[in-house]
Each structure stands twice: as structure tokens, then as C-alpha cells.
């Protein structure tokens, strides 16, 4: 059965005892997954002003809370988990002081690994900005930690955190520039027939597999679900003044992603060969004999030929602005994702091998 959470913690008042706050979940899942469900309310919380329907998350991390009591009961296939907190959180007017932004993603993880007898060999933090479905901007911090366990086996751990980024009001000159950009993006998305999109998707797939064959890796297969997601994001991007990455997933796994765009004062298009070759041309900057410390300028190529990626989703959208200009955006999603730290040598092979 699916997990269901109440939107806000319930409050229980007692004259002779402390005020208790509880969060409820009906779930067959283990403790880690129950708490993770409560924590996911972080996406609804605004750290800048302490607003948002995120009571489960805010109580969970409330600075002033010191004690927790946990109960679990089961009736048939239904499981109820209750957590009581003291002193209670979610006190009106005290959210900003008690709900702190996320700290550095891996600061505690490296300590935990060391305490477990592991030797951390490298740690790198990557940050990117993504926009949620509700339009809010988040900073995603991802730390990739390479380490050796007690037996000397090399392993990797990825820790990901996200924090909302307040969007401050820009100065007047910047506002004028944004207004001009907004005027340029006002218009409409041009409709494409299902057969046109299907043909474009297969052409993109064919060009991908042409290059993958050059590098001796198996071809990709088109995935309709991934293509639907790619199409939705391409449509979203083509009406924006600038490109940004998504946080799309397939199941629970983050998808690999390549994006290309073309703009013209008049009508324009972007054919499959030009798009894929644009990404592939980054091959000139890639060094096969080493693991890259940064994928800027090579990440599109490496994802395109990544050996472990199996499925592809393709989306394309054309936007006609009010001033007659056209913008084309192409999005490709990959599953499993490529560009995994310490795995480039095994997955990005030289041509002819």
C-alpha cells in the first residue's frame, strides 16, 4: 500500500503535562523510510520567511526539541507510526530561528565513514540550481565521496541535499532587462504532430547509437515514459529566457540529461544529427587516460556514449515569440544516468574499441 502522511502534525494539549506534537504515517515501511517521508516536506518549506505547509519536516528538525517518543501499531495490513516531541516545535513566529538551512552535504558522512574504519580518498561537492514543479528555485548540493572499506575495496557514496534559494528583487536596470526578455518569450509553443515527434525521436536515437557503436558500447532503446518527461521539460524550457537543469527521476534514480537550444530572429529548427553531433563534438576535450575532476565542456559527450546507460527519452519544443523570433529546445533523458565519478574509464571507451 502507498504511504500517506497528514499535511500538518497534530497537536495535543494537556494542563498538567507538556504540549506534545505528533506526526502520523500509515505505512508498512521500515523506520528509515517513514522518517524520510516526513523529511520530504522540505520541498514545501521556505527557509527565507519560515512559511510553507511542511509541518512534518519542521518538527523533525526543530532546533528547540530535545526528546522524542515513538510508537508503532499494526492491524492487519495497516501500520501506524506515531512520534511525539518535547519541547514541541512548529511554534508560530519561531520558524526561522528553529528550522536551519541544510549544512554542507557530506560533513558528517566522512566522519561516519572514518569511524567505521574506512579511508576516505577524495570528496568533491557539486552544486546546481533546479526549479521545482511549483516554480521555486532550489540549490542542490551533491557530494561524491570515494573511500576504501576495511578490506581495501574502493567504493563511492553520493550524498544529496537541497535548499531553497530566495529570489531577491533585482535592481531597476535588471528589471528592465528582464521585462525585455519576458516580452521576447511571450508567444506560443508551436504544435508538432505525433508522427513528427516519433520520427524525430527515432532519428535522435539512431544518431546516438551511431556514435555509441564507434565507441564499442551497446545501443540505447527509446523509452516512452522518459520521452514524455523530456517533452514536458522541453516545452517548459522553450518559454523561458534561459536554460536550467531539471531534477527528473525514473523511479527513485536521478536521470542523466542533455539539453540543446537554438534561437533565430525568424523561423528555425534543429535536426537530430545537428543536435547529437553538437553534444558529441565535446569528444575533442575529453582525456581517456584519467578520471575528470569536472565535466564542464565534456559532460554531454560522456553521457551520450556512457556504456551503462540503456534507455533514452527525447523531447523537442519550438516557441514562437511575439516579436517573431523562434527558439528550439531539445531535451534527452538517459537511464541509468551517466557521468558517475570514478566510473569514466569503464564507461567512456576510446573509438574503435
Domains contained in the chain, CATH given: 4-98 (3.40.33.10), 107-164 (3.30.360), 172-347 (3.40.33.10)
pLDDT of residue 159: 79
pLDDT of residue 316: 93
pLDDT in tens, 41-66: 887 888 778 888 889 999 999 988 99
pLDDT of residue 208: 98
pLDDT of residue 241: 78
Query: Distance between CA 225 and CA 20 in Å, rounded?
Result: 44
Q: Which of 96, 66, 89, 71 is nearest to 20 (CA)?
A: 89
pLDDT of residue 279: 96
pLDDT of residue 5: 39
pLDDT of residue 349: 96
Residues of the chain whose pLDDT is less than 70?
1-29, 76-77, 102-107, 133-134, 166-188, 190-193, 353
Amino acid at each position: 500500500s502507498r504511504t500517506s502522511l497528514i499535511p500538518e502534525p497534530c497537536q495535543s494539549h494537556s494542563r498538567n503535562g507538556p504540549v506534545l506534537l505528533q506526526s502520523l504515517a500509515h505505512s508498512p515501511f521500515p523506520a528509515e523510510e517513514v522518517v524520510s517521508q516526513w523529511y520530504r516536506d522540505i520541498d514545501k518549506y521556505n527557509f527565507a520567511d519560515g512559511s510553507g505547509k511542511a509541518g512534518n519536516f519542521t518538527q523533525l528538525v526543530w532546533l528547540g526539541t530535545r526528546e522524542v517518543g515513538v510508537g508503532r501499531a499494526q492491524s492487519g495490513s495497516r501500520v501506524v507510526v506515531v512520534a511525539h516531541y518535547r519541547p514541541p516545535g512548529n511554534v508560530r513566529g519561531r520558524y526561522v530561528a528553529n528550522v536551519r538551512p541544510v549544512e554542507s552535504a557530506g560533513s558528517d558522512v566522512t566522519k561516519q565513514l572514518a569511524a567505521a574504519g574506512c579511508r576516505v580518498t577524495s570528496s568533491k561537492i557539486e552544486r546546481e540550481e533546479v526549479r521545482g514543479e511549483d516554480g521555486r528555485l532550489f540549490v542542490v548540493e551533491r557530494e561524491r565521496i570515494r573511500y576504501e572499506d576495511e578490506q581495501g575495496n574502493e567504493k563511492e557514496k553520493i550524498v544529496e541535499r537541497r535548499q531553497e534559494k530566495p529570489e531577491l528583487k533585482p535592481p531597476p536596470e535588471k528589471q528592465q532587462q528582464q521585462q525585455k526578455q519576458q516580452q521576447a518569450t511571450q508567444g506560443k509553443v508551436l504544435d508538432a504532430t505525433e508522427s513528427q515527434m516519433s520520427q524525430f525521436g527515432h532519428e535522435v536515437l539512431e544518431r546516438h547509437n551511431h556514435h555509441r557503436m564507434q565507441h564499442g558500447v551497446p545501443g540505447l532503446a527509446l523509452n516512452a515514459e522518459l520521452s514524455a518527461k523530456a517533452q514536458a521539460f522541453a516545452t517548459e524550457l522553450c518559454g523561458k529566457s534561459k536554460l536550467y537543469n531539471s531534477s527528473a527521476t525514473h523511479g527513485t534514480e536521478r536521470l542523466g540529461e542533455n539539453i540543446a537550444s537554438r534561437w533565430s530572429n525568424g523561423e528555425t529548427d534543429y535536426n537530430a544529427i545537428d543536435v547529437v553531433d553538437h553534444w558529441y563534438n565535446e569528444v575533442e576535450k575529453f582525456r581517456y587516460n584519467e578520471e575528470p575532476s569536472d565535466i564542464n565542456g565534456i559532460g554531454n559527450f560522456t553521457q551520450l556514449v556512457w556504456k551503462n546507460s540503456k534507455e533514452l527519452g527525447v523531447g523537442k519544443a519550438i516557441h514562437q515569440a511575439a516579436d517573431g523570433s523562434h527558439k528550439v529546445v531539445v531535451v534527452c533523458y538517459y537511464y541509468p544516468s551517466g557521468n558517475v565519478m570514478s566510473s569514466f574509464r569503464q564507461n567512456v571507451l576510446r573509438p574503435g574499441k
